[in-house]
Chains A and B, each alone.
Chain A
Amino acid sequence: MKILISNGRVVDPANRSDAVQNIYLDGGKIVAVGSAPDGFTAERTIDASGLVVAPGFIDLAARLREPGFEYRATLESEMEAAMAGGVTSLAIPPDTDPALDEPGLVEMLTYRAKKLNRAHIYPVGALTIGLKGERLSEMAELVEAGCVAFSQANVPIVDNAVLMRALQYAATFGFRVWLQPIAPFLSRGGYAHDGEVATRLGLPGIPVASETVALYTYLELAKITGARLHITRLSSAAGLALIEQARAEGTDVSCDVSINHVHLCDMDIGYFNPNCHLIPPLRSQRDREALCRGLAEGRINALCSDHTPVDDDGKQTPFSESEPGATGLELLLPLTLKWADRAGLSLLDGLARITSDAAKIVGITKAGHLSVGARADICVFDPAAHVTVSRDGLKSQGKNTPFLGMELPGKVRYTLVEGQVMFEG
Chain B
Amino acid sequence: MRNPQLNKHGELQHLLTLDGLPRDILTTILDTAAPFTEVAEREVKKLPLLRGKSVFNLFFENSTRTRTTFEIAAKRLSADVVNLNINTSSAAKGESLLDTVDNLCAMQADMFVVRHAASGAPMLIAQHLQNTGRDHIHVVNAGDGRHAHPTQGLLDMYTIRHFKQDFTKLTVAIVGDVLHSRVARSQIAALTTLGVPEVRVIGPKTLLPTAVEKLGVRVFHDMREGLKGVDVVMMLRLQNERMNGALLPTPQEYYKIWGLTAEKLALAKPDAIVMHPGPMNRGVEIDSAVADGAQAVILPQVTFGIAVRMAVMSMLGSN
Q: Do A and B actually bind?
A: yes
**Assembly CA distance A348 to B5 (angstroms):** 47
**Within 8 Å of chain B (Cβ to Cβ): is A205?**
yes
Binds A, one of B26-34, B39-47, B115-123, B272-280: B115-123
Q: Is A66 an interface residue (CB 8 A)?
A: no
Cβ–Cβ < 8 Å partners of A321 in chain B: 118
Check if A200 sits within 8 Å of B185, measured CB to CB.
Answer: yes
Q: In this assembly, does B147 line the interface, its C-beta being within 8 Å of a C-beta of chain A? A: yes
Q: Which of B1, B147, B185, B215 has the most CB of A within 10 A?
A: B147
B144 contacts partner chain A, Cβ-Cβ < 8 Å: yes
A318 to B124, Cβ gap below 8 A? yes
User: How many residues from A make CB contacts under 8 Å with B?
Assistant: 22
In the bound assembly, the distance between CA atoms of A205 and B214 in angstroms comes to 16
B236 to chain A, nearest CB (A): 14
Is B210 a contact partner of A194 (Cβ separation < 8 A)? yes
CB nearest neighbor in B for A193: B210
Chain B residue nearest to A270 in the complex (CB): B1
Query: Is B75 in the interface zone, CB < 8 Å from A?
Result: no
Among B120, B147, B210: residue with most chain A CB under 10 A: B120
Interface centre among B19, B116, B146, by most A CB within 10 Å? B146
Say if the beta carbon of B127 comes within 8 Å of chain A: yes
Q: Is the CB of B210 within 8 A of A320?
A: no
Whether a CB of chain A sits under 8 angstroms from the CB of B290 is no
Say how far B95's CB is from chain A's closest CB, in angstroms: 11
Chain A residues lying within 8 Å of B96, measured Cβ to Cβ, are: 313, 316-317
Chain B residue with minimal CB distance to A320?
A: B118
Whether B182 is near chain A, meaning CB under 8 Å from some CB there, is yes
Structural contact, A203 and B210, CB atoms closer than 8 A: no
Say if the beta carbon of B282 comes within 8 Å of chain A.
no
A195 sits at the interface (CB 8 A): yes
Q: Does B211 contact A (CB under 8 A)?
A: yes
> Which of these, A207, A270, A317, A318, contacts B210 with CB under 8 Å?
A207
Bound CA span A318–B128, Å: 11
Complex contact A318–B182 (CB within 8 A): no
Q: Which residues of chain A have C-beta atoms less than 8 A from B121's C-beta?
A: 318
Cα of A321 to Cα of B97 in the assembled complex, Å? 11
Partner of B4, one of A196, A204, A207, A271: A271
Asked whether B98 is an interface residue with its Cβ less than 8 Å from the other chain, the reply is yes
- Structural contact, B123 and A316, CB atoms closer than 8 A: no
Residues of B within 8 Å of A318, CB to CB, are 97, 116, 118-121, 124, 144-145
**B side interface size, CB within 8 A:** 28
Q: Which of B97, B121, B209, B215 has most chain A Cβ within 10 Å?
A: B209
Smallest Cβ-Cβ distance to A321: which chain B residue: B118
The digit string for B1-40, where 1 denotes a CB below 8 A from any CB of A, is 1001000000000000001000000000000000000000
Q: Is the CB of B214 within 8 A of A196?
A: yes
A316 to B124, CA, bound (A): 8
Complex interface residues of chain A between 185 and 209 (CB less than 8 A to chain B): 194-196, 198-205, 207
Contact B123 A199 (CB under 8 A): no
**Residues of chain B from 199 to 227 with CB closer than 8 A to chain A in the complex:** 209-212, 214-215
CB pair A202 B211 closer than 8 Å: no
Shortest distance between the CB of A95 and any CB in chain B (Å): 24
Interface residue ranges of A56-110 to B (CB < 8 Å): none
B139 within 8 Å of A (CB atoms): no
A199 touches B119 (CB 8 A): no
Q: With contacts A194-B210, A195-B211 known, is A316 near B145, CB below 8 A?
A: no
Chain B residues contacting A207 (CB-CB under 8 Å) are 210
B148 within 8 A of A: yes
Question: Could you tell me which residues of chain B, from 94 to 149, have a CB within 8 Å of some CB in chain A?
Answer: 96-98, 116, 118-121, 123-124, 127-128, 144-148
Is residue A319 within 8 Å, beta carbon to beta carbon, of the partner chain? yes
Bound together, the chains give a CA A195 to CA B119 distance in angstroms of: 16
Can you spell out 14 A-B residue pairs with CB atoms less than 8 angstroms apart?
A196-B211, A198-B209, A199-B212, A199-B215, A201-B119, A201-B147, A202-B185, A271-B120, A272-B124, A313-B96, A317-B124, A318-B97, A318-B145, A319-B119
Residues of B that sit less than 8 Å from A by CB? 1, 4, 19, 96-98, 116, 118-121, 123-124, 127-128, 144-148, 182, 185, 209-212, 214-215
* A residues at B contact (CB < 8 Å): 194-196, 198-205, 207, 270-272, 313, 316-321
Report, nearest first, the 8 A-B pairs whose CB atoms are least far apart. A202-B146, A202-B147, A272-B120, A318-B118, A199-B209, A202-B119, A196-B211, A196-B214
